[in-house]
Amino acid sequence: MVDFFLYFGIALLVALFLGPVIIPQLKKMKFGQAIREEGPEAHLSKSGTPTMGGLIFIVAFMTPSLIFLDIENSLVQLLWFSVLGFGAIGFTDDYLKVVKKHNLGLKARQKIVLQLIVGIIISVIAYGNSSETWVPFLDAPVDLGLFFIPFIIFISVGFNNAVNLTDGIDGLAASVTSVVALFFASVSFEMGQFQLAAINLSMVGALVGYLKFNWYPARVFMGDTGSLALGGYVVGMAIVLKMPLILVLTGIVYVLETLSVMIQVVVYKRTGKRVFKMSPIHHHFELSGWHEKKVVYVFTGITFVGSLVGYVILL
């Protein structure tokens, strides 16, 4: 039996160790975050806070697997490629932002093209393992055949950007995703996939350790390096477990964040009016008077409820 607490503990300790090592180096290299002028005014004081802190939990997450797991396992390789592939796109984006000292980085078209490339590779690898996927309320998985490939590409790119949108408040993306990781760990255990359960607990430990430095007021931001890597983890694990559709429930916050942006853009273009004070929706609640920590607590609670509903449906 896999020692789950060992995976969690090692990832936690590595994250706690790396924080005081990496953050001063990011400051020394002046890898500070530029804050969007059109964002909440209260965020302007955060300008210069070190970014690319996602490296902390990425390394911490991978360490237990490097020590104990068979990394030649195709499922582990798929997950790692998803994390590192999308994370590399985020790293490139962050690097360009830091070098240019403004909040641009990769152009939207460039980022989408790179995400599509990673998504295509993931879909082909996954298709080579199985083209089946779990559908709620059905007793057996459904074989999507060749449709599986475009379906996985859509899920990969869509949810990768959705997780990225969630990273806009201190501790939000890490807190929400730690609950998602706990959900995946529970499902993996129920399925008898004990190694996958251990990997998910590694992510929980890595994010808990990272939150020591990212909780309000944050000493470091994960940057696109971290948020896109987290998105890669979420979609990669959902694909490995053959249940990407469950992300609609356990990833309900990611969905709401994305929908708020889409609704805001469509309505504004058609009517010139805004539905929300600002999108993504976490900024709407900020401007409505909610403290950042309250937003994190509520959104994490919503994720827990969505995950619980998904878990009950699976059972």
pLDDT at residue 37, as a whole number: 56
pLDDT at residue 48, as a whole number: 77
Domain ranges of the chain: 4-247
Per-residue pLDDT for 38 more than 80?
A: no
From 7-16, 136-145, 197-206, the region with the lowest mean pLDDT: 136-145
Contact 220, 33 (CB under 8 A): no
Per-residue pLDDT for 2 more than 80?
A: no
Q: Using one digit for the tens of pLDDT, what is the confidence trace for 75-108?
A: 888 999 999 999 999 999 998 888 766 567 788 8
From 45-49, 63-67, 121-125, the region with the lowest mean pLDDT: 45-49
Per-residue pLDDT for 1 more than 60?
A: no
What percent of the chain lies above the pLDDT cut of 70? 92
Residue 145 CB-density burial (10 A; 0-12 exposed, 13-18 middle, 19+ buried): exposed
The amino acid that residue 252 corresponds to is I
Per-residue pLDDT for 55 more than 70?
A: yes
Residue 140 CB-density burial (10 A; 0-12 exposed, 13-18 middle, 19+ buried): exposed
